[in-house]
Chains A and B, each alone.
Chain A
Amino acid sequence: AQSVSQHNHHVILSEAASLELGCNYSYGGTVNLFWYVQYPGQHLQLLLKYFSGDPLVKGIKGFEAEFIKSKFSFNLRKPSVQWSDTAEYFCAVTIGDSWGKFQFGAGTQVVVTP
């Protein structure tokens, strides 16, 4: 069963536009939430994560995400994108405590045009 879903598979936008990528998970208990990014030709790397506390999380390169428990969502945002933000973005979730299931979402390919 799909534990995490990303709604947009492909996003194309211009530089300076705002970006929001959706991520929803299907579990009512404890979750750890992550956004990873894969730039062309580079390793997967962490953008930001949420374990507990302030639901608004700030990550690297001006990205932030908001955990909304009531909506089972963890959407990624950036107010103004740059060409260098062109990449594949993956939401990931650890569901449950300790040895719960870990899964990546399907990913969103973001292309930023100059």
Chain B
Amino acid sequence: DTEVTQTPKHLVMGMTNKKSLKCEQHMGHRAMYWYKQKAKKPPELMFVYSYEKLSINESVPSRFSPECPNSSLLNLHLHALQPEDSALYLCASSQVALTDTQYFGPGTRLTVL
């Protein structure tokens, strides 16, 4: 099973809402990632977790708050987002952080009104 699942597929939220994105993998990978992808652009790395610890935060605004409850799950908590945060949010996992093949989920399409 090389699948990374993400829920929800689509999310529309207001600027005052609090919502969460969820990502799950059952490949036994110890690294998990969040990316942001705008239309016609490459994915931009946001966060990297390794062995359930936050290892990289690419200067992401605090309105994005990641959480790794266990080695299979990764959440991204959203609060007070701006319209420019509208994008496709991708989750990925790999055996080893950064230097190994990453397996990507289908993404959550987020629209902030």
Name A residues whose Cβ lies closer than 8 Å to a Cβ of B. Answer: 32, 34, 43-46, 49, 51, 90, 94, 98-100, 102-107
Output the least CB separation between B16 and chain A (Å).
32
Contact: A104 with B43, CB < 8 Å? yes
Give A99 to B44 CA distance when docked, in angstroms: 16
Number of interface residues of B (CB under 8 A): 21
Contact: B98 with A43, CB < 8 Å? no
Output the least CB separation between B60 and chain A (Å).
15
- Ranked nearest first, the 4 interchain pairs of A and B with the lowest CB-CB distance are A104-B42, A44-B104, A43-B104, A102-B98
Give A114 to B35 CA distance when docked, in angstroms: 34
Chain B residues with CB below 8 A from A90, complex form: 42-43
A43 is contacted by which of B45, B48, B56, B105 (Cβ under 8 Å)?
A: B105
Q: Which of B56, B99, B102, B106 has the largest count of A CB atoms less than 10 A from its CB?
A: B99
